[in-house]
Structure 1
Amino acid sequence: MNKLIILFAFTVLILSACNQAAKTRQVPANISEAFVKLHPNATILKWNDEPPIWEAKYKDGEEKGAVSFNDKAEVTETELVIAESQLPNASAIPDYIKAHYPNEKIQGCEKITKQDGSNTYEIQITGKEIVFDGEGKYLSEEKD
């Protein structure tokens, strides 16, 4: 009886793994080519497949970020890791973090540029991302 249970569990595990593999898609050529045109010297760290969006996380020299593409290989969003000193409105964002999250320190900053050219800034603190607009005004809090 124990052998039958083990065999059944093993079969379920194998079928589950095969099902996951079937869900993995290849990065379309037009999207790979669009990325290479933007960042010809970059190293792709990871592709995220979030249909209908493909996101390439990359490193290009000292620059780290991500680029999201739609199925037409158009850039829908870029994320760029930036230094705290590159945040808009000088001290507005760090001051907001100190006032509203007094026990936290800024762990990272990203500049997000949408397809329409608008910018937001995501500030990472423990377990959260705090989002600000291009002027440095608070927009929202998201779980990380």
Structure 2
Amino acid sequence: MKKLLVLISSIVALSACTPDTQSQKVPKQIVAAFQKIHPEANITQWNDESPIWEAKYKNSQEIGAVSFNPKGEVVETELEIDDSQLTNQTAILEYIHSKYPKEEMQSIEKITKQDGNITYEIQITGKELVFDSQGNFLEEELD
């Protein structure tokens, strides 16, 4: 049993020292662009959605994601918010309660595109409901 514990501890220690191969592939200009706008954030995951790179992050104040084009320019940001931060909160909540009376909101993201266009994605069971910045329903996306 003692040998097994030593073996498991060794494996865990070695895996902690192994560099994240995904982050090694991220172009330096993309990493630098992220660090410039979120110097205190911890990147939780990089996603290669060629040609776009997405950095999911956390810091002491927020959880979100930033997507960059190959030039290191921000093309989209996603920020987790609570329902009190929704534009036209009343209309959005009324829509959800009338169309999905048994559902509860699981998460809310404020999406800002490069052109400044803002939408809100609200996660319910198996779906994301998308609203514009005035609180108008746009579409339902399967999760």
TM-score normalised by the shorter chain: which range applies? 0.7 to 0.9
Amino acid of the structure 1 residue aligned with 2:141: E
Instruction: Give me the whole-angstrom Cα distance separating, in 2, the residues matched to 1:126 and 1:90.
Output: 20
Tell me what 1:109 maps to.
108
* Structure 1 residues 35-114: aligned runs within 5 Å: 35-114=34-113
Instruction: Give me the whole-angstrom Cα distance separating, in 1, the residues matched to 2:118 and 2:109.
Output: 10
What 5-or-longer segments of structure 2 have no aligned partner?
1-21
- Sort the Cα spacing of 1:32 and 1:24 in 2 relative to 1 into closer, same or farther, 3 A: closer
Instruction: Give me the whole-angstrom Cα distance separating, in 1, the residues matched to 2:114 and 2:33.
Output: 15
| 4+ aligned runs moved over 4 Å, structure 1 | none
Tell me what 1:11 maps to.
none
Q: Deviation per CA, 1:58-82: give whole Å up to 9, x if none.
A: 0011300000000000000000000
TM-score, scaled to structure 2: 0.82
What 5-or-longer segments of structure 1 have no aligned partner?
1-22
Matched, 1:32 2:31: yes
- 8 A contact 1:25–1:49 mirrored in 2: no
C-alpha displacement of 1:90: 2.7
Residue 45 of structure 2 aligns to a residue whose secondary structure is strand
Instruction: Give me the whole-angstrom Cα distance separating, in 2, the residues matched to 1:71 and 1:27.
Output: 10
RMSD in angstroms over aligned alpha carbons?
A: 1.5
- 8 A contact 1:46–1:58 mirrored in 2: yes
Percent identity between the two aligned chains: 61
Residue 122 of structure 1 aligns to a residue whose secondary structure is strand
Tell me what 2:139 maps to.
140
Tell me what 1:120 maps to.
119
Residue 88 of structure 1 aligns to a residue whose secondary structure is coil
Instruction: Give me the whole-angstrom Cα distance separating, in 2, the residues matched to 1:56 and 1:104.
Output: 30
- Sort the Cα spacing of 1:64 and 1:39 in 2 relative to 1 into closer, same or farther, 3 A: same
- The alignment of Structure 1 onto Structure 2 pairs a total of residues equal to 122
